[in-house]
Amino acid sequence: MPTDAEKEAESAQQLEKVRTLLLGKDNSRITESIKKDARKIVAEVITEALHDRQKKDHSVDKVLQPFVEDSVQLSVTHNSEQMVISLYPIVGSLVRKSVAAFLSDFMEKTNQLLENSLTIKGLKWRLKARQGGVSYAQYAASQTFVYRVEHVFLIHRETGLLLNTVALDNENKSDADIVSAMLTAINDFVGDSFLTNDERLKEQLQSVSTENFNLLIKPGPSALVVAAVSGNPPQSISDQLQLTVENIHSLYLEELNSFNGDNQQFDNTDNLLRDCLLTEQKTATDDKKKTPWFAWAIVLLVLLFAGYKSFNWVKSSQLHNKIMQLDTQPGVIIKQLKIHSLDDITLDILRDPDALNITDWLNNNEMNAAQFKLIERNYYSFDPPILRERAQRIIKAYPNITFTWQNNTLVLAGTLDITKTEQLLNTLAIAGFKSDKNLTSEQLQLTSSLPTLQSKQIQQQIFDDLIGRIAALQLNFPVAVETITPEMHVSLQKLYQYVQQLEPVAKALNINYGLLILGSSDNTGNKTTNNIISLKRANNASYELQQKGINKDKMFVLGLGQIEITAISSKARTVMFNVIHINQE
C-alpha cells in the first residue's frame, strides 16, 4: 500500500502534467502571449515602478547613473562642438562657483592647519601618532571625528578577489588588493579553525578592531562589503553596509555568479559603495573658541624675519646700485662685488694709476670706506679722459712743449732737442699714443743738443745711427697702387724727424748729404708699366716729404722698375730710403 509521501509525489507529478498541458513546456504559451503585449504593459507601469523602487531603496539612480555618464562621455567625444555651444552659457557661472568653493575650502583647511598643527594640541597629536605607529592624518582623524569611514571594499566571497573599492577624498587605492587578500586569509583562518554548529558551517568574521581603527564586514551570498572605519562606528554604518550588500546582490547577482576574475563589470558599483562613506565630526566641548596663540606667534616671527630680510635686501640692492656707479668712472672696472652684509663688502677692481682715488670716491658718495675690503689692481686704460690726464702728466716734464686736442688726437708743438724728442715720443707710445692713431708731432721743432766740445767720434756715431734708422724705413704698396696711404704717413713722419735730427749733426761734422728715394715693383705684369709705377711711388713719397719740410734739393728720386731677385721679386712693391753723404774735410 503506497505511503503518504508516495501519494504526495504522484499528485505533484500529475499536477505538473496538467500545468504543462495548459501553459505549454517551460510556460511557453504564457511567455509568447506576454511578449506580444510586453511593450504596452511595461509602458503603462514603468514610471510608477521606477518611482516606487527609487522611493524604496534609492537604487534606480545608482543603476542609471553609470549609463548616463557613459552616454554623456560618448556624446562629448562625437559631438564636442555642439556640447560646448550648449554648455557655454553656464560655464562662467560654474567656474565662478568652483573658484569660490576652492577658496572657501582653502581657507577652511588653512584655519584647521593653524588650529590643529601649530598648537600645543597639534604637537601632542604628532607625538601620540608617532608613539602609536600611525600617521598624523589618521590620528588627527580619530581625534577630530566621532567616526569616519576611510575605505569601502567589495570582495568576491568565493575567490577572495577585490571587485571594487572606494576611498574618502579619492585616496590612493594601490594597497586595496593587499588588504583584500589579507582579509580573506584571516577570514578563512577563522572559518577553518572555529566550527560551531552541526552543519559544520564556517564561522564568518563580522569585525576586526584595533585601538583607533575598525573593519566592519557584511557578508552576502556571493560578495562581502568591508568598511575601514576610524573612531567608534555606530549601528548606522552596519545598517548601511547591510543595505549596500543587499542592493549589490539584487543588481549584480548574475555578474557575481558568473565571475571569472574580471572585475571591470563591477566598476559601476562606485555609487553604491560611496553611500557607506559616512562621517560624524566631534562637536566642540567648549563654547568659547580657542585662539591658537602658538600658531600666531610662529606666524608673527615668520613675518618679522621676512620683513627683516626684505629690508636688508632692499638696502643691499640700493647699495649695490650705488657702488656700481663706480664702474662708469674713467679708468675703473669693477671685477667683482660681494655684499655679505651692510658692514661687510668685498670690492675687487681694476684701476688706472691716473684714475680717481677709490677711497675718496666712496667717502664722497656717503659710503664708509672702512666697511669695504678693497682689492685693487692696476691696468692701462684707453678711456679719453684718462689719456688726457696721462698726456698732461707726461708732457708736464717738458716745459718747452705745448699740446692741444683735436678730436681726441694729441697735437704736440714747441721746440725740443733730438734726444728728448725721442724720449718724449717713446714715453707717449708706452702710454698709448701712436702717430698713426692719436698723436701728431709735425709741429715740433727739433734742435741739436750736441755740445760744441763733444768729440767728433760721438757725433759720427750719432750720424751713422740716424742713417741706419732712415735705411730701415720702407713703404710697402699693394699691387698696382702708387698712392701714399695714411699708414705710410706715419713712416714718412719718422723719416722727417730723423732728417731733422741728422741736419745739425751733419753740419757739425762738415758733411754734405742727400736723401736717396728708390721706388720698385715686383716682377709680375708688364715691365714698362712696372718701371712707370715704381717711379710714381718714389715721386709720391718725395712730394709728401717736401710737404713736411724737407728741401727738394736734398732728395734724389729714382724708379728701379722690376726687382728680379728670386727670393723677394714677388714682394718688391716698395719705396726705400738711403742717405748719400760726402765729408768735406
Whether the predicted pLDDT of 201 surpasses 60: no
Terminal CA-to-CA distance of the chain, rounded, Å? Answer: 186
Whether the predicted pLDDT of 114 surpasses 70: no
C-beta separation of 261 from 159 below 8 A: yes
Q: Cell numbers at residue 367, please?
A: 659710503
**Lowest mean pLDDT segment, chosen from 144-153, 180-189, 397-406:** 180-189
Q: What is the mean pLDDT of residues 276-289?
A: 63
| Residues contacting residue 498 through CB under 8 Å, at least 6 positions apart | 466, 469, 470, 473
CATH of 120-281, one of 3.30.450.70, 3.10.20.90, 3.50.50.60, 3.10.20.30: 3.30.450.70
At residue 68, the pLDDT reads 74
**Lowest mean pLDDT segment, chosen from 122-126, 200-204, 208-212, 519-523:** 200-204
Whether the predicted pLDDT of 286 surpasses 50: no
DSSP characters over 525-578: S-HHHHHHHHHHHHHHHHHHHHHHT--GGGEEEEEEEE---TTTGGG--EEEEE
| Residues contacting residue 377 through CB under 8 Å, at least 6 positions apart | 335, 348, 349, 350, 351
Q: Name the most confidently modeled range: 87-101, 158-172, 183-197, 247-261.
A: 247-261
Strand ranges, E, within 157-212: 162-167, 207-209
Rounded Cα gap, residues 149 and 167, in angstroms: 8
Rounded Cα gap, residues 433 and 426, in angstroms: 9
Binned at pLDDT 50, 70 and 90, residue 504 comes out as confident
Give kind and range of the element (H or E) at residue 332. Answer: strand 332-341
Rounded Cα gap, residues 150 and 520, in angstroms: 105
Rounded Cα gap, residues 539 and 283, in angstroms: 115
Binned at pLDDT 50, 70 and 90, residue 84 comes out as low
CB-hemisphere CA count at 13 Å for 31? Answer: 5
At residue 112, the pLDDT reads 58
Q: Name the most confidently modeled range: 30-44, 141-155, 362-376.
A: 362-376
Widest CA span in the chain: 186
At residue 193, the pLDDT reads 61
DSSP characters over 206-268: -EEE-SSEEEEEEE-SSEEEEEEEEE---HHHHHHHHHHHHHHHHHSHHHHHT--S--GGGGG
- Least Cα distance to 236 among 204, 201, 278 occurs for 278
**What's the CATH class of domain 386-583?**
alpha beta
Q: What is the mean pLDDT of residues 143-164?
A: 80
Rounded Cα gap, residues 321 and 325, in angstroms: 7
Q: State the amino acid at position 20 in one-letter form.
A: T
- Least Cα distance to 153 among 171, 133, 180, 175 occurs for 180
Whether the predicted pLDDT of 374 surpasses 60: yes
C-beta separation of 574 from 477 below 8 A: yes
Q: What is the mean pLDDT of residues 264-286?
A: 75
Whether the predicted pLDDT of 111 surpasses 90: no
Whether the predicted pLDDT of 86 surpasses 50: yes
At residue 519, the pLDDT reads 93
> pLDDT exceeding 90 applies to what percent of the chain?
8
Tens-place pLDDT, residues 432-472: 887 767 888 777 776 655 554 457 888 888 888 888 988 98
**What's the CATH class of domain 294-378?**
alpha beta
Rounded Cα gap, residues 126 and 85, in angstroms: 51
Binned at pLDDT 50, 70 and 90, residue 110 comes out as low
Whether the predicted pLDDT of 287 surpasses 50: no
Binned at pLDDT 50, 70 and 90, residue 577 comes out as very high
- Average pLDDT in the chain: 78
**Lowest mean pLDDT segment, chosen from 41-50, 518-527, 552-561:** 41-50
**Lowest mean pLDDT segment, chosen from 120-124, 280-284, 332-336, 563-567:** 280-284
Tens-place pLDDT, residues 468-486: 988 989 999 988 889 998 8
Q: What is the mean pLDDT of residues 516-531?
A: 88
Domain ranges of the chain: 120-281, 294-378, 386-583
At residue 515, the pLDDT reads 93
Rounded Cα gap, residues 299 and 228, in angstroms: 37
Tens-place pLDDT, residues 219-258: 888 888 888 887 777 888 888 888 888 888 888 888 888 8
At residue 175, the pLDDT reads 66
Rounded Cα gap, residues 399 and 199, in angstroms: 134
